[in-house]
Amino acid sequence: MAISVGDIAVRYGCRVAGDPDVVVDHVATLQSAGPGAITFLANPRYRRWLADTGASAVILEAGDAGECPTTALISDNPYALYARVATELSPPRTLVPGIDAGASVADSAAVPADCEIGPQAVIEADVVLGKRVYVGPGVVIGHGARIGDDTRLLANVTVCHGVDIGQRVIIHPGSVIGADGFGIARETDGWFKVPQLGSVTIGNDVEIGSCTSIDRGAIEDTVIEDGVKLDNQIQVAHNVYIGAHTVVAACSGISGSTRIGKRCMIAGAVGFVGHLEIADDVIITGQTMVNRSINEPGGVYSSALPMDEARQWRRNSARFRRLDDMAKRLRQLEKKISELSDD
């Protein structure tokens, strides 16, 4: 696959500074690019590599074009344009339709002929697959689950019974969709399991990383709306609702019945106490403990302390254990000084 810079410019409505007939056939980083490579500059951290790049073309913002030593493709959103071009140059692997002889597919499952079902995959009774679904090696789809067109379940994914997944969804290896939520009721001599009778509903264009868990609802469904992107190692508890186009970075955990709005950006290792409501467009920084609802859209929230050298850290954190006492002593001093000043 090869494409001229001019063709890219026409297709995506951006401007060329330099030779539009330059042809590119692969992507590379600024620092390692050679002839035939197209690259991009989006993060200012990497600007130092621009002047010496060996790329045939660079996608960048207008403000960086002056320093570009080669053909420039000028875009308001270089990273997104790069993503589009890279997808053209390296399209996802095309399906090889058919059911591998080593797969196990129930008679009552509906598997269109244009699906690819890998070796050791298991498709239980009454599963309904859409068109062009990819079911990777070792994937298990529980009875009655429904998978939309063009969705790809990669190796060793588990989709439990009754789960409903939309179109063009990608789920990476090792993730588990629809296991029982953590519902237990205290009794005098231990805990009694609360049946988890809801399911999971996942919209279109959702991507879910590796080793992520999304539990089924207790009574109603856990819901992941269209365009949500979840990274690896994430916990989504029962009856969570995640609004459209929200993204969640790795290692975050969302407790039960929490509702997150649209287009939120949740960084890594964030923890949500349960039963909260988070407004649209909220940003939460890494390792935050979200311990209350956020009603106002668009804010930025934090609770993780920045790192320090351990010796200094120990001193400060020891003081923290007496912070309430410090605050009281400060108040007393203020009173005393006020009295002294009055004298």
Least distance to a second copy, CB of residue 168, Å: 10
Residue 302 near residue 290, CB atoms below 8 Å: no
CA 325 to CA 16: how far, in whole Å? 64
Position 2 contacts a second copy (CB under 8 A): no
* Nearer CB in complex with a second copy: 67/334: 334
Residue 130 near residue 151, CB atoms below 8 Å: yes
Residue 88's H or E segment, with its range, is helix 78-89
Among 95, 194, 280, 297, binds a second copy (CB under 8 A): 194
Contact set for a second copy, span 273-292 (CB under 8 A): 273, 275, 283-292
Position 251 contacts a second copy (CB under 8 A): yes
Joined together, the tokens standing for residue 128 give 């309904």
Map residues 47-76 to x or -, x wherever contact with a second copy holds by CB under 8 A: ------------------------------
Give the bridge partners for 207, in sequence order.
170, 229
Among 1, 13, 94, 187, binds a second copy (CB under 8 A): 187
Least distance to a second copy, CB of residue 98, Å: 14
Position 116 contacts a second copy (CB under 8 A): no
Single out the segment in contact with a second copy by CB under 8 A; choices: 3-11, 53-61, 64-72, 192-200. Answer: 192-200
CA 300 to CA 218: how far, in whole Å? 31
Among 36, 182, 259, 280, binds a second copy (CB under 8 A): 182
Q: Decide: helix, strand or coil at residue 250.
A: coil
Map residues 129-158 to x or -, x wherever contact with a second copy holds by CB under 8 A: -------xxx-x-x-----------xxx-x
Residue 71's H or E segment, with its range, is strand 71-74
Looking at this protein, which amino acid is placed at residue 209? G
Active site residue 238: yes
DSSP state of 274: S
Among 235, 259, 281, 297, binds a second copy (CB under 8 A): 235
CA 16 to CA 35: how far, in whole Å? 18
Least distance to a second copy, CB of residue 69, Å: 19
* Nearer CB in complex with a second copy: 10/305: 305
Residue 339's H or E segment, with its range, is helix 323-342
Least distance to a second copy, CB of residue 137, Å: 4
Among 9, 65, 110, 176, binds a second copy (CB under 8 A): 176
CA 106 to CA 5: how far, in whole Å? 49
Position 28 contacts a second copy (CB under 8 A): yes
Position 35 contacts a second copy (CB under 8 A): no
Q: Are strands 235-236 and 57-60 parallel, antiparallel or unpaired?
A: unpaired
Among 11, 35, 192, 298, binds a second copy (CB under 8 A): 192
Contact set for a second copy, span 323-342 (CB under 8 A): 323-324, 326-327, 329-330, 333-334, 336-337, 340-341
CA 168 to CA 301: how far, in whole Å? 32
Which residue from 219, 180, 178, 179 is spatially nearest to 197, judged by alpha carbons?
A: 219
Give residue 105's Cα distance to chain centre.
31
Give residue 97's Cα distance to chain centre.
29
Least distance to a second copy, CB of residue 207, Å: 7
CA 146 to CA 141: how far, in whole Å? 9
Position 229 contacts a second copy (CB under 8 A): yes
Position 82 contacts a second copy (CB under 8 A): yes
Active site residues: 238
